[in-house]
Amino acid sequence: MFFSLFTSGPHLTALMVGLILVPVFWSISFLLSFLVKRKYGVIPALILLPFFFVSHEVAQYYWDLSMTWFHLGVGLSNSPYLLGIYPYLGQEGGTVLIMAFNVSVYHIYHKTKCNQFNVKNAIPLILLILLVIISNAFNQKIKTTKTVEIAIFQPEKEKLRAIQDNLMSQIDLLETKIQTSEFKKADLIICPESYFRDMKKYPLVVNNLHSHPAILRLMEISQQYQTPILSGATLVQLYRSETHPTPSSKLKEPGVYFDIYNGSIFITPDKNISWRTKQKLVPFAEITPFYKGFNYLEKHGLWPTRYDRTFASVDSEDPYSYGKLKIAPIICFESSFPHIVSKYIQHKANLIVILSTEWSSSESLIQQHQDGIPILGKSFGKSLLFCTLNQKSLLLDDHNLEKKIFSNQEFEKKSIFLLDNRSYYFYFADSPWYWIVVNIIIILAFIKLKFYLKMR
C-alpha cells in the first residue's frame, strides 16, 4: 500500500496487480517441487526444480500478462565469463544454469546438515562448473563479417516532447540533424521507438502510406542521401465495416473503424515502404490483458464493457531488406521474447535493431533493460543495435558482444561489423516449448523409475 501513495490512475492498477501476481506466479515451480518432494523425496524434487522454473518462464511468453523482465536467464548479462552457454541454450539455458547452481549448493548443504556428505554429493556442482568452462572454451568463432555504416538518431527527450504529435516538425528535426552533421551517405538511418507520431493532423494511416505527405518527404530524404530510413512510428489502420472487424478496433464514425499500432516503418531510396508492428505488448500500458476474450463476450451480450483502449498487433517474421542488410525490427519490450527474434533470424536477418524510448523515469529500470540486451545478441550470434533517446544508444558487433555506447551527439554514424554466425540456440529458439517437453520427459522418467523400484 505504501507504493500507492506515489502512483495514480492505470499505473496504480498495474502496480497493485503486479504486487499480487508476481509472487504467485514465481512460487508455482517451488510448489510443484515441494509436491514432488513429499511423494518422491528430496533428490527428485531438486532435479526437477530448474525444469519447473524454466517451464514457467517459457509459459510467460504466450499470454497477455507476460512478465519476462523477471526471467533469471537475463541476470547473467553483465557476467561475460558465464555467457558461453547462451549460443547453445539461450536465456532459458541461463535460467537452468542459475537454478542448477542453487540446487547443487543446497544439495551439499542438505547432506552436510544430515551428516551424510561425501565427495559424490559435489559432483553436480563440479559438472556445472565444467559446463561453464567448456562452453566458454568452445565459444563460437566469427565466420565472416561485412562492414556497414549505420547512422543513429538519438534525440533528447525534451526536444521530442516539444514536437509531440507534430509529424512535420519531427521530420524537420531529423533533417536538420542530418544536414548539420555533414552526413553524406550510409547503409541505414535509425530513429527510436514511436519517433514519428501524429494522431491529430497527419496520422500515419497504413492504408495509404505511399501518398502520405510526411512519407513523401521521408522518401525525398532517403533518395537524396541514398540511404534507407528505419524508424519507430505510431501507425493507424482503417476498416470499413458495420461491426468491429478486430477485437482491438475502435469506432471512428458509423461504418468506419480503426486500429492503432506501436510499430516501425522502413523507407528505401527506391521508394519502397514497409511496416511492422510490435507483436508483444506491455500489460496494462499498451494492452488490456485478455481483452479479446472480454470483447468476444461483450459482442454476444455476456459482458457489460468493451475494452478497446489498447494497441493492436500483427504477427510478422519477414525482416526489412535493402542492400547488405536484412533487419530484425524489435520494439523495446519484445527484446525479452527470443522466439520472436528467432523468426526473423530464420528468414536470414543479419542485424537485430531494437527501437526503444525513455519509457520510465527510473534510471535503474532503463539500465536493467540495457543490461539484458547482450543476451539477445549472444544467443543468436548477430550484431545488435539499440536505438533510444537522450544519447543512450548501444552497439554490439564483436565476438564478445560487449556494449559500445554511442557518443553524446544526437546524430552519429558508425561503421559496424555484421556477424555471420548462426548459434545452436537458433534451431529451437522459435519453439521454446522444447523446455516443457524436456520437463515432461524427466517427470515421466522419475515416475517410471519410482514404479520400477516399487516393483522390485
pLDDT digits (tens, 9 = 90+) for 421-436: 777 787 777 776 666 6
- Distance CA(75)–CA(82), nearest Å, equals 10
Q: So what's the pLDDT on residue 91?
A: 86
Whether 311 and 261 have beta carbons less than 8 Å apart is answered as yes
- Distance CA(372)–CA(254), nearest Å, equals 46
**What is this structure's pTM?**
0.88
Of 8-17, 141-150, 156-165, 322-331, the poorest mean pLDDT is in: 8-17
Q: Helix 434-455 to helix 28-40 angle, to the nearest 10 degrees?
A: 10
User: Cell numbers 493492436 correspond to what residue?
Assistant: 312
- Beta-bridge mates of residue 413: 151
The alpha carbon dihedral of 275, 279, 282, 286 has a sign of: positive
Average pLDDT, whole number, for the chain?
Answer: 84
- Picking from 238, 376, 382, the residue whose alpha carbon sits closest to that of residue 312 is 238
Q: What is the DSSP string of 40-55?
A: H-HHHHHHHHHHHHHH
Highest mean pLDDT among 10-14, 59-63, 173-177, 390-394: 173-177
Q: Domains in the chain, start-ordered, CATH in brackets?
A: 2-140+431-455 (no CATH), 145-422 (3.60.110.10)
Q: So what's the pLDDT on residue 235?
A: 96
Highest mean pLDDT among 91-100, 396-405, 426-435: 91-100
pLDDT for 78 beyond 70: yes
pLDDT digits (tens, 9 = 90+) for 20-39: 777 888 889 999 999 988 88
DSSP 8-state symbol, 120: G
pLDDT digits (tens, 9 = 90+) for 119-169: 888 888 898 889 888 887 776 565 656 889 999 999 988 888 888 889 999
Check residues 264 and 396 and name the one with the higher pLDDT. Answer: 264
Q: So what's the pLDDT on residue 143?
A: 60
